Structure 1
Amino acid sequence: MKAAFARSLPRNVWFLGFVSLLADVNSKMIQSVLPLFLVSVLGTNLITVGFIEGIAESTASVLKVFSGALSDYWGRRKELAVAGYGLSTLVTPLFALSTSPAWVLVARFLDRIGKGVRVSPRNALVADVTPVAQRGAAYGLRQSLDTIGAFLGPLIATALLFLSAQNFRLVFWCAVLPGIIAIALLVFGVHESLQVSEAKHNPLQWSALKSLGKDYWMLVVVALLFNLGNSSDAFLLLRAQQIGIPTSLIPLSFVVMNLTYGLSAYPIGVLSDRIGRLGLLIAGFTLFAFVYLGLTLAQTPWQIWGLFALYGLYLGKTQGLLLALVADQVPDTLRGTAFGLINLVTGVAILPASLFAGILWQKVGYQATFMFGSVLAIAAILVLVLSFRCNHKFL
């Protein structure tokens, strides 16, 4: 039945899913080896590595708002998505040609500009062609295919490094190919469907933002509160190392996470179309709280591996559902803006969340870092329940 349900999803959803898969193979091949390339080949210090990543991710978060708003104003999302994916692929050779950290910074900066340009229009494209009754399945499918790419990218990079005697530049050159195929699929396989009136209005003006609705803005508040406790995955890796997992095996944690993430996102999306999204989102936040609590109590490597698998399940229960909830709440012509704003909030929250997590770890202990995240997750759940307790359509 699930297979038949998946086949019934619009053509655009499938193509966008495979575009995401190939683009994630491209980006994860690069990201999984870039820190090692910077440190071992270019002699970069860890502070510089952190600076490059911080600048890159902040850029992407800010641009998602403007690209989403522009897609609403222009009424043409596909061109922005093509521009974003195209820029990221176009700059991939810069990583292979880099001879200094400055070159890597430029390449990473331009790559994240590409991500910032494409994400909100792409998410809106999914909603534009999908009936309300299938949105959970549509976002779940796209998320699952995206995660398969995130799973395959590091594995391909690892295999190339093994076969080429640690040739990082070869990995970067090979990453160009999936990027090119992704652009071709987007250009020839995805068709624009959004219709807008000739009288165009600025989607970022106050009247437009107000029309997004109270329920949408409450979701934004909940996402901000939750993500202030959802620090960088680097702290998960540090905890794994602290428990005693060999450094050479720690990258496999992302494989474990993405495996359970990819396997769960689509079935949970389908389930949300049948029983409602809010309860499943709350269950996902609750699972996150228990995983973070588990990280304070774990004493053996097998417990950490199990927690990594549950962390991937938490992602599968929340990422696609939050997008579907946003799509359900806002007017068709403001979807890009709505996705951009919530992406901005969650992206910007990463910096203070990670800084505070590091301070807590250093000054108090690792337990404080994960307990803080668990408490904020519970707080987000309470706000969500209290806000929507009378709105039965979410339940």
Structure 2
Amino acid sequence: MARKLSRNVVALGGVSFFTDAATEMIYPLLPLFLSSVLGANAAFIGAIEGIAESTASLLKLASGWWSDKVRKRKPLVVLGYGIATFVRPFVALAQTAGMVLAIRLADRIGKGIRTAPRDALLADSVDAESRGRAFGFHAAADNAGAVVGPLVAFALLRYFDLSLRDVFWLAAIPGVIAFIVLIVAVREVAPVEHREKIEPQGTQGTQRTQRAQEVAGDLGGRFWGYMGVVLLFTLGNSTDAFLLLRANQLGVAVALAPILWALLNFVKASAGTWGGGLSDRFGRKPLIIAGWGLYAGVYYGFSVATEPWHAWALFATYGLFYAFTEGTEKALVADIVPRARRGAAFGWYNLAIGLGALPASLIFGAIWDRAGSQMAFLFGAALALVAAIGMTFVAPQPVRSD
């Protein structure tokens, strides 16, 4: 029988749910707001996201390393969520695209500060046997917020006749709720000390020396090998906006795009905890390899699809890829590094994904423009298969005990 998830796991899931609901009330509307209200061109809109996400990726590494050094996770998590919660609604006051860039950059700075320490705190809050399920639950809660946010924004615009700026202001409500839950319900977990309490008196000096070596030491060849295949996979994992573009090619109406997007996030939210739990039972590597293989199958499907219903079926299946891998990949990071180095490890993991995402989309887009969408999706499928094969040679399957 599966163990009950800890208070911290549930609370951090709630924080991510409300935060993502707030973010997704704004994010899908930003391109329309920038182009139709503020007159920004497509290049500037792309630059906003590129600058914001690159900054966040670098900060994830720095904040994760710092949380290891000071052995405190929650203060950085609170700081990161606090910055984003405060600045995000001020998009409603923006009069220029430059102001939106500044606000979006501050929002992503908050995300960069909080992400690695939050993931490390989540790993610290659960035993190894339940780690995959815990990360799966967290991803599911995050994706559930991504379903609710756009639907709430759509309802406010459609049925209450509010303006875009009004919706942006109202997005502050779930953000504040998330911050309150974080302050009240999430507790700090000492990364190392609780293990020392059970050691005999004469061994405490040795334990302190070991801890210092762990914090300052290398993350190990297994970890860097894993990061290599994650980066390889990420180079074939372009932005999901291309999936929406391909769906439109297949005949899915633009008006249905938010519903198609909600379907994807619904599957991700519904199956995330289950997928993470499977990795606790069968191991991380089999789930990641299966997930990357499924990704390759979905991308191959998009390359040969001819009907609108193909897009709907492929989007639903794509959600299972996330269920298998989104929590499992993070659980494996926690499995193969020392507990005292988890903050830095999650920082490197997020940096690898963040740095790989931009060239992945540029490469995919270039292939699309020069050879067509079918060849672009075949490229993504092929790279995913190569990464899945590479995964069989790195990162041992057994769960690392604490």
TM-score (norm 1): 0.94
- 1:21 pairs, out of 14, 17, 27, with 17
Query: 2:134 is paired with a residue of what secondary structure?
Result: helix
Q: Which amino acid aligns with 2:398?
A: K
- 1:254 aligns with 261
Measure the CA separation in 1 of the matches of 2:65 and 2:110: 16
Query: 2:389 is paired with a residue of what secondary structure?
Result: helix
Q: Which amino acid aligns with 1:149?
A: G
Measure the CA separation in 1 of the matches of 2:46 and 2:213: 36
- 2:26 pairs, out of 13, 30, 51, with 30
Measure the CA separation in 2 of the matches of 1:69 and 1:392: 25
Measure the CA separation in 2 of the matches of 1:392 and 1:353: 28
Measure the CA separation in 1 of the matches of 2:261 and 2:123: 29
Q: Is the 8 A contact 2:285 2:397 kept in 1?
A: no
C-alpha deviations, 1:201-234, integer Å up to 9, x for none? Answer: 6989xx62x2x12221111011100000011111
- 1:64 pairs, out of 55, 60, 63, with 60
Q: Which segments of 5 or more consecutive residues in structure 2 lack a partner in the other structure?
A: 194-207
Q: Note the 1:1-395 alignment, pairs <5 A.
A: 5=2, 8-165=4-161, 167-196=163-192, 208=217, 210=218, 212-387=219-394, 391=396, 393=398
Cα distance change, pair 17–253 in 1 and its aligned pair in 2 (3 A): same
Q: Is the 8 A contact 1:95 1:172 kept in 2?
A: yes
Query: 2:398 is paired with a residue of what secondary structure?
Result: helix
Query: 2:5 is paired with a residue of what secondary structure?
Result: coil
Q: Which amino acid aligns with 1:114?
A: G
Measure the CA separation in 1 of the matches of 2:76 and 2:308: 44
Q: Is the 8 A contact 2:226 2:394 kept in 1?
A: no
Q: Is the 8 A contact 1:141 1:269 kept in 2?
A: yes
Q: Is the 8 A contact 1:29 1:157 kept in 2?
A: yes
Q: Which amino acid aligns with 2:12?
A: L
Query: 1:178 is paired with a residue of what secondary structure?
Result: helix
Q: Which amino acid aligns with 1:393?
A: P
Q: Is the 8 A contact 2:292 2:388 kept in 1?
A: yes
- 2:204 aligns with none
Query: 1:99 is paired with a residue of what secondary structure?
Result: coil
Q: Is the 8 A contact 2:8 2:125 kept in 1?
A: yes
Query: 1:43 is paired with a residue of what secondary structure?
Result: coil
Q: Is the 8 A contact 2:25 2:167 kept in 1?
A: yes
Cα distance change, pair 203–64 in 1 and its aligned pair in 2 (3 A): farther
C-alpha deviations, 1:4-52, integer Å up to 9, x for none? Answer: x36x111100000000000001111110111111111111111111111
State the 1:277 CA deviation: 1.6
Q: Which amino acid aligns with 1:177?
A: I
Identity %: 46
Measure the CA separation in 1 of the matches of 2:373 and 2:146: 28
Q: Is the 8 A contact 1:73 1:203 kept in 2?
A: no
Q: Is the 8 A contact 2:124 2:191 kept in 1?
A: no
RMSD: 1.8
TM-score (norm 2): 0.92
